[in-house]
Each structure stands twice: as C-alpha cells, then as structure tokens.
Amino acid sequence: MTQAQDATDTREAATPHYRVAVIGTGFAGIGTAVRLKQAGLDDIVLLERAEDVGGTWRDNTYPGAACDVPSHLYSFSFAPNPDWSRSFSPQPEIWDYLRRVAKDYDVVRHIRFGHDVTEARWEPEGNRWRVHTTGGTVTAQFLVTGCGPLADPAIPDLPGLDAFEGEVFHSATWNHGHDLTGRKVGVVGTGASAIQFVPEIQPDVDTMRVFQRTPAWVIPRHDRDITAVEQRIYNAVPAVQRLARTLIYWGRENYIFGFAKNTRLLKLVEKLALANLRRGVQDPELRRKLIPDYTIGCKRILLSNDYYPALAAPNVDVVTDSISEVQADAVVTADGTRHEVDTLIFGTGFHVTDSPIAHRIRDAEGVLLADRWNSGAGMSAHRGTTVSGYPNLFVLAGPNTGLGHTSQLFMLEAQIGYTMAALRYAHDRGADRLEPRAEAQEAYTRWVQKKMEGTVWVSGGCDSWYLNDQGRNTTLWPGFTWDYKLRTRRFDPGNYHLRTAPGSGRARSRPDAAEHAVGAQPAQG
C-alpha cells in the first residue's frame, strides 16, 4: 500500500458514514427524522446550520410573525398540539412546537448543529453522498434536503443601497436591537411578512414610507383566542381536535375549485377582499393604490384585519412609484421624489424558484443541481421529490409541491411517505442506488405543467414569486392535495433505475442486477 493510499484510507475511516443524512431541522427535516426512527432506522444524521431547530420559524422573529394557516392544520398529523393559544398560531408557539417534537421523538441527539452544508457531491464508486459542512464532512448512502423554500431571504439589488448610512435588514433577519421609536422607516415590499409587521411597528415610528410594487389582495383574518375549555377538551378527547383538523382541511381544499377549476368563482372572494379594503381605508386615493389589477389568487391571498388601517394612519404614506436609487439618507423614486428614511426594512420574500440548496448539490461529474435546472425550463423533479442524474437524493418541498391555499405540512408528509416507501423498497431488494429515469421525470413534469394550464397561478395576470424567469410555475402543486398524496402513497419502481448492492442476495441470484431499469413506461400522473 502506498503512502497516498494509506492516507486516503485513514481519512475515510475518520469520516462518519450514515445510512441517511438530512439537511435542515425545520418541519421537513424533523418530520423525516421522526418517520425514519419510527421505521427502526437509527443510523441517521441531521445537519443544521444554526444552533437550534426550527427553520423558518426559528429565523423569522419579526413583530407580528404568525402562520396564515389555521393552527389545527399546521402541525404534524402524528403530533397534534391541543394547546395552541390562537386559531392562527404565533411564531413563538410554532417554534416551541418544533423543539418539543424534536425532543419528544428523540431527534435532537442525531442533530449536528453549526453544520452549514457547503457542498454535497455524489460519489458513484461508493454509491454515497459526500457532504461537506462548516463543522466537518460526512458521507451518507441517501441524502434528504429539508431546507424549504423560505430559507434564504431575497433582497433586491437597488442602486446605491451599499451607500445607505442608516440601518438595513430583512424581515427574516429582524434587528431587535434597533429601536424603531421615532424613526423614519422605509418598508420595501408588501407581501405576507410586511402585512404582519407593518401594523405592529406603525404606532411607534415617526413616519413610514411603504414602497409598493404590486398591491396584494387581503381578506379578513378570522383569528381568535382558543379557550381553556377547548384546550381541555382537545387534551381529554383527541378525536375532537382531529375532527376540527379534518373540517379545516376540507374547507381549505374547496379553494381549488376557484384556483384551478373555474376562476370565475374567485369573484366572490374578490368581493370579500374589496369589502375588507373599504372597511379599513376611507380615502379614495389610497384605496385606488391598494386595488390589485390581477385576479385574486394569482399571488398568495393575504390575511389581515389591521394592515389597511395601518396604511391609512397619518404617519404612513404608500408609494407606488418604482425605486430608482438609494442615497445615504433617502430613497429616490422614479418621479424624482426623495423620501427621507433612516431605516430600511425589506419584506421582499425569499429565493424560491432558484433554490439555494441546489447551488450546493453536485452530481458525479460536478454539475450543480442549480445549473442543471437553469439549463432547462426551471426546477423539475419526479413526484416533486427525486431528480434524474442525482441518485439517492430526495428533495422535500421540491418543485411543484408548494401550496397557495392550505397547509404545506400535508404535502411534506406525503413526500416523506414517498421517501420512506423508496427506502423500504431499496432495503427489501438490497439496492444501494435508485435514480428516476429521465423520461419518467420529463413525462411527470409535462403532466404537471399541462395540469397547470388555466389555473389562476398562470392565467391570473400577475408576476408572482410562483413563476420562474421563463414564466413557468415551478413552485405550486396545480390541484387538490389529496390527489398528490394518492400519487405518492406508493413507490413506483418502474420509473427508476435501481442498482442492487454487490454481495446482496439479489445480486448473487441475478448476474445482470448490477445496473438495470425496472418496468417499462414512465408514469404521467
């Protein structure tokens, strides 16, 4: 053995190896870990860049942060929370819930905190992923990304922003040490985060300029305290909470009739939103600024009772002219107006259609997943979960698995179930590599995009974060969530290349089993 070989062997022996590595400890990562452990698989590691679990619910601590999905639906099906305090959960409670689930299901001991993934590369010679992190390197046979689409904030590239002398931060990186009392605040963006924090900070600031590119449709938020009596009932009779969850689920599913089946039905929802606007804003000119010119649902419908009254306050001005530049102490709009500000807060969302984790995942030849997706029509994955060319990879909250009407956790649990079915199939057959066939993935993607035609998300007349640079919706699932769950309830080996591990019983009984495609025709739905 040469010295080089000896050094390589020593390095390999020092590199921890796992059956499954999971990136992230938000809902996706924790849910996957729980299901893996319930299946008896303890040989797992979770790689977390921060020092605590929680994902987006750990990071987004801005004033007023809360979920826009009813509490009873926004939890794991296997871990209901009978103690929600409100019908729409505030951020601290959701974060506490995630930490409690991670602890109760013995997930925490598998987590490596402070391990920000810098690169994951497929090594075909060992049929494994080599994952480099800021805390060290691990290898794993299977890799699951649970990073989510709301992980990395997006800040627009505004001319002069670097020269601004005041305080600048994104809603997802809120600077709680910066006192906003008496400040001249500029808010850029009017999305789901902004409509929550604007009413919270408006009474404290001296002036506020809300720079609005596109107005949002906002309907009332029917939020209330959950009484102690209700909590006691949910604790004593869990079936009552399950019933509440079921009723909320089917109520939310009804939105699809308007979003994807007959967009004319959305006129009723538009009337509800316009009535909400009339209640909150008396000034006709301000109302005119806040009425969208696209079909409701094309962008995410927002829920708030206090956003419109906050915009109508005397110390707030809604600016609809585009930003031309940022100066040391002001924002200048296209009409030449200087808006003096000493604090800039961005409520401009996240990198969704250009998934940041895809810039860190490489195939055997070193091709980034992001480059593979950018070279085509955008993100795509078989069943929204597995990607041709990247074996043993499962992308949770992947392409076309997002939602605009109900709880994302329903889709995540369906994807986790599909991942578990694939791992069971591989285990039962002694397979150490599975990869979706390119033609199967392409057929599935064509089917999804065909199903997307005529939905409000592509024909509603807006430019939303659901769409990529080609105008293609690579973000949302174009129908009922129960339909997706049915399509992912079983693993579909006919759409995969499988490699049986050398030395397994299957390999010995089938000389041709080292590399083979199972099945004939790719599934299209």
Listing DSSP states for 315-374 in one string gives TEEEE-SPEEEE-SSEEEETTS-EEE-SEEEE---B--TT-GGGGSEE-TT--BHHHHHH
Q: How confident is the model at residue 92 (pLDDT cuts 50, 70, 90)?
A: very high
Three-state DSSP string of 489-525: CCCCHHHEEEEECCCCHHHHHCHHHHCEECCCCCCCC
Q: How confident is the model at residue 525 (pLDDT cuts 50, 70, 90)?
A: low
Provide mean pLDDT across the span 200-204.
Answer: 98
Render pLDDT for 257-291 as a digit per residue (tens, 0 to 9): 999 999 999 999 999 999 999 999 999 999 999 99
Provide mean pLDDT across the span 238-246.
Answer: 97
DSSP annotation of 114 reads T
Higher pLDDT, 466 or 103: 103
Higher pLDDT, 5 or 163: 163
**Selection from 57, 45, 39 nearest residue 109 by Cα:** 45
Res 511 pLDDT > 60: no
Q: How confident is the model at residue 12 (pLDDT cuts 50, 70, 90)?
A: low
Q: How confident is the model at residue 2 (pLDDT cuts 50, 70, 90)?
A: low
Q: How much is the pLDDT for 127?
A: 94
User: What mean pLDDT, rounded, does the chain reach?
Assistant: 92
- What are the Cα distances from residue 312, in Å, to 63, 181, 199, 280, 333? 19, 19, 11, 8, 21
- What are the Cα distances from residue 78, in Å, to 104, 148, 420, 499? 12, 20, 15, 33
HSE on the CB side for 519, CA within 13 Å? 15
**Selection from 416, 471, 455 nearest residue 26 by Cα:** 416
Question: Are 140 and 20 in contact, with CB atoms under 8 Å apart?
Answer: yes
Render pLDDT for 205-237 as a digit per residue (tens, 0 to 9): 999 999 999 999 999 999 999 999 999 999 999
Q: How much is the pLDDT for 503?
A: 61
Render pLDDT for 437-489 as a digit per residue (tens, 0 to 9): 999 999 999 999 999 999 999 999 888 878 888 888 999 999 999 999 999 99
Res 116 pLDDT > 50: yes
Greatest Cα pair distance in the chain: 83
Question: What CA–CA distance (Å, rounded) separates 512 from 494?
Answer: 17
Question: What CA–CA distance (Å, rounded) separates 20 from 32?
Answer: 10
Query: What residues have CB less than 8 Å from 224, skipping those under 6 apart?
Result: 86, 87
**Selection from 350, 525, 326 nearest residue 445 by Cα:** 525
Query: pTM of the entire structure?
Result: 0.92
**Selection from 113, 116, 142 nearest residue 129 by Cα:** 142
Q: How confident is the model at residue 521 (pLDDT cuts 50, 70, 90)?
A: very low
Q: How much is the pLDDT for 324?
A: 96
Render pLDDT for 26-71 as a digit per residue (tens, 0 to 9): 999 999 999 999 999 999 999 999 999 999 999 999 999 999 999 9
Q: How much is the pLDDT for 510?
A: 33
Question: What CA–CA distance (Å, rounded) separates 385 from 382?
Answer: 6
Q: How confident is the model at residue 353 (pLDDT cuts 50, 70, 90)?
A: low
Res 377 pLDDT > 80: no
Domain annotation for the chain: domains and CATH numbers:
3-53+107-149+352-517 (3.50.50.60), 161-216+254-346 (3.50.50.60)
| CB-based burial label for 239 (10 Å; 0-12, 13-18, 19+) | exposed
Question: What CA–CA distance (Å, rounded) separates 280 from 102?
Answer: 41
Question: What CA–CA distance (Å, rounded) separates 328 from 145?
Answer: 40
Res 100 pLDDT > 70: yes
N-terminal to C-terminal alpha carbon distance within the chain: 52
**Selection from 301, 111, 299 nearest residue 220 by Cα:** 301
Q: How much is the pLDDT for 216?
A: 95
Question: What CA–CA distance (Å, rounded) separates 431 from 282?
Answer: 66
Q: How much is the pLDDT for 508?
A: 32
Amino acid residing at 412: L
The vertex-352 CA angle with 348 and 354, nearest 5°, equals 115
The tokens describing 104, both together, are: 């109760």
Q: How much is the pLDDT for 513?
A: 33
What whole-number percentage of the chain has pLDDT above 90?
85
Q: How much is the pLDDT for 468?
A: 85
